[in-house]
Chain A
């Protein structure tokens, strides 16, 4: 092996890489926030009294979970413009991540909601709260608490899936790395460096999720 390592290139391009990492973090946080909203609203809609609404949620979840993310993002980026919807790569990436993560979040959160005892719901109804208030104020928090670890690992996966957004030339860490690599041919140094950076990004997300957990879910249970 006579490859000579030269991380000088990487240090030179560090500002760009850090910007790419920040962008990845931004995409992940935006995607996860929207995915969480889709997840919660989806679960609420899934128990709607309207059959059409319930059916739509189920269909949405099935379509998203049984097709590749790459195809989903291509669909939004290349197919939607044919119908007059033209979105820039960053917006496309956020929407694709939100839609994909949202479908998984619906399934995970639904599991949590189903684990909440009927007695909780009945106590809320008996106090005069409406069905949606019961869901939002009584069921939701304990439900998310029970499935929080699964939700977190799904969202960490979503964080790493941002790399696929390179395929539509969205600005994020992997696409920045690709540009640097094709300019410098320093494949090992560049990909080694972003591997470490992805580990950092994951740790930051884990840290955020731990903070959120401590803030919202630290109430004692038996």
Chain B
């Protein structure tokens, strides 16, 4: 586990969050608070609501009740709060979602220019800084289709970082990658963690969880079943569903 720079005021807090997809109850009474600098790993079986949970934090999904506050801004239905939160929260997706018609550099400068109003030279300077940081600056003029999956995902991380967010959300960032490319992406994420970024990662990479997480949260059927430090989580899981899940995951690795 890394020693993190943490303060006591939560950067993100979810209180009694309820999410329904029509008649389907996807998130049930979710309470979660994340301090600045904290790294959370979120795991659980397929369909348990992990993606839904992190997508609620940047308002890609709306919630039916409860409150979500990010860096002092409480999400409500007006677009001002959504804009404010999205400016502070970066997100990395399983399927990279780079924009195919833009070069790597353009992918990275788009939002800083259009959302933050940065000038092109400033945006490019920032983009080069983060591309350097994810060790892919040499590919800046290429298009996404010309990169490997691992390279694309590192660009996606750089693209999110270019908005200089306070929080990064990762939704299974390595699940779509060939095994030999998983490490380069995880290493990038570890480096980000070391730098003190607040992170919520949905992942089943248990090695990453052990090394980086301050807390591991286990979800099932839309509920948070258990949360603990990695040591406790992996060595002494309390809930039978957690034990069953870990049994399965570890059998596969």
Contacts and interface: CB of A to CB of B under 8 A. Distances in A.
A137 B116 CA distance: 15
A138 B115 contact: no
B110 A128 contact: no
Interface stretch (A75-83, A117-125, A158-166, A184-192): A117-125
B93 A122 contact: yes
A67 interface: no
Interface centre among A119, A126, A221 (most CB of B within 10 A): A126
A141 B60 contact: no
Contact of B95 (A119, A138, A222): A119
B95 A142 contact: no
Contacts of B163: 127-128
Given A127-B115, A128-B115, A120 B97 contact: yes
B166 interface: no
Contact of A137 (B60, B87, B110): B110
B173 interface: no
Interface in A21-77: none
A122 B101 contact: no
A220 B114 contact: no
B160 interface: yes
Interface residues of A, number: 23
Contact of A219 (B58, B60, B89, B143): B143
Contacts, number: 68
B87 A128 contact: yes
Contacts of A129: 110-111, 114-115
A133 interface: yes
Given A119-B93, A219-B143, A222-B145, A128 B99 contact: no
Contacts of B83: 128, 130
A126 B115 contact: no
Contacts of A133: 114
A133 B86 CA distance: 15
Interface string B47-82: 000000000001010000000000000000001000
Contacts of A219: 100-102, 143, 145
Given A128-B163, A219-B143, A221-B145, A123 B99 contact: yes
Given A127-B163, A137-B110, A220-B146, A122 B97 contact: yes
B159 interface: yes
Contact of A127 (B95, B100, B111): B111
Given A137-B110, A137-B114, A219-B143, A127 B97 contact: no
Nearest to A144: B101
A115 to B, nearest CB: 12
Chain B: number of interface residues, binned into ranges:
20 to 34
A128 B73 CA distance: 15
Contacts of B44: none
B200 interface: no
B91 interface: yes
A125 B160 CA distance: 12
Contact of A221 (B60, B100, B114): B100
Nearest to A222: B145
A123 B93 CA distance: 8
B86 A125 contact: yes
Interface string B95-118: 101111110000000110011100
Contacts of B143: 219-220
Contact of A126 (B91, B98, B100, B114): B91
Given A120-B97, A142-B101, A219-B100, A126 B60 contact: yes
Contacts of A141: 101
B90 interface: yes
A117 B96 CA distance: 12
B179 to A, nearest CB: 20
B99 A138 contact: yes
Contacts of A123: 91, 93, 97-99, 156
Contacts of A130: 79, 83
11 contacts: A119-B95, A122-B97, A127-B115, A128-B111, A128-B115, A128-B116, A129-B110, A129-B114, A141-B101, A142-B99, A221-B100
Interface of B: 58, 60, 79, 83, 86-87, 89-91, 93, 95, 97-102, 110-111, 114-116, 143, 145-146, 156, 159-160, 163
